[in-house]
Amino acid sequence: MTNILQLSIHEASELIKEKKLSPVDLVESLIERIEETNPLINAYITVREKEELLEEARQCELEILNGQYKGPLHGIPISIKDMIFTKDIKTTMGSAVYKDYVPTEDAIVVQRLKQAGAIIVGKVNTHEFAYGPTGDESHFGPVRNPHDLNKISGGSSSGSAASISSFTSFGSIGTDTGGSIRIPASFCGVVGMKPTYGKVSREGVYALSWNLDHIGPITRTVKDNILMYNALVESEEIHIGDYVKELNNLKIAIPQNYFFDDLDEDVRVSVNGVVNLLKEIGATVEIIKIPLLDEVTEHQKTILRTEAYANNRENFERDASLFGVEVRERLLTGIEVKGHEYALALKRKNELTKQCNALFDHFDVFITPTIPILPPNIKERTVRTDTENKDAGHIRWTILKNTSPFNYLGLPAISIPCGVSTTGLPIGLQIISKSNNEQVIYETALALEEKLNIETTKWEIGRKIVK
């Protein structure tokens, strides 16, 4: 029999609903798996007490046996990024500043998961204060990629994606300010969704940037992602009964400028393979140019630097030595931003978002590589960024390049696995649509997932790290 930890949320929930699988067995297996793998991967900072988790699982089982089934997340173990407040569970922000902080209230997203019957297993690691895309700068140590322990998991929702990829969680909630859900999802070979700005409540989430932060789900499959998304939003539900959109009816734009510059060859081959598949199926695929992307990127950086410093200023001025060196240096750049630059970045945000949304009058979705490169080594900080290898740039901006524009624009975007490199590392595809058009993104992602059948989370991959 397949190990129960290999089941998707959708599969496990059906068995639980039919009383063929006990949440107690699910939790027991998961705890064993965490004990086995977490010393190597370092996905979790805090795991709740075993007896406490088992008691919660027994309560779920009793409710289901008594006909009080709450839905597809009932009895499903979920991990939470350690930027999101959890009542009576330590919430550290990956920093020495908050290493012993215990909130007195749950964030709204945690409340909604509990209302859906999910079991909160623990808190997963994050790049310190979510201020970095590598996931290897945390007070609690780097998160290692389950596919290769020498590689970064991506950040800042590093522990979220690694916990899914290593079979130590069925789903997770991450935050995304410049790509922090989609980047680790791509590097770890899982599915990560950044909904439209404001679609999921940020109340009870430690802010990095008020105008750029998004909250969203990370899972192993697109269908699982939809199930979690539906639990997080208040006024909308994605229907997955007839979910597979006919790809030959899709109008797809490939923004060739900017997003396809300086790609790793394996990334180029995988993404071009998807584009060719779509053409073969009969989808309308058109190469376009999105204007003003350089301006978008600069405004995103301006807002991020300013608001990151503002959100951390009080702690920073009290004792900057508690911050890691890398995050400390980044925070200081926020002091350098001029007031008129910040004001212009905010003013242009609505104007540029409106212009980009107008492009979707002619297309259903845009498709791009999620990240131009493969996962680098832990602590690696420079990367060759042009085909002639003349210039080396900071790895941060290379990793963020394709994802950060859609934080500034607030558009929904998902990363799904689309291939595996010659060295066995996952490659992600980013699908973007206009504001509040998550339904079309999910339909497209489901259809592509089915056609591509990319397996980046095989049990053997998760197991190979354990010697």
The catalytic site residues sit at 81, 156, 180
For residues 215 and 200, is the Cβ–Cβ distance under 8 A? Answer: yes
Mention every residue, 6+ apart, whose C-beta is less than 8 A from residue 126. 81, 82, 83, 93, 94, 135, 138, 155, 156, 157, 158, 159
Tracing tokens 């200081």 back to the chain, one arrives at 332
Letter string b/e over residues 155-189, b meaning 16 or more CB atoms within 10 A of that residue's CB = bbbbbbbbbbbbbbbbbbbbbbbbbbbbbbbbbbb
DSSP E strands, 7-118: 44-47, 77-81
The helix-helix angle for 9-17 and 23-41 (nearest 10°) equals: 160
**Largest CA-CA distance found in the chain, in angstroms, rounded:** 67
Structure letter (DSSP) for residue 202: -
Letter string b/e over residues 426-465, b meaning 16 or more CB atoms within 10 A of that residue's CB = bbbbbbbbbbbbbbbbbbbbbbbbeebebebbeeebbeeb
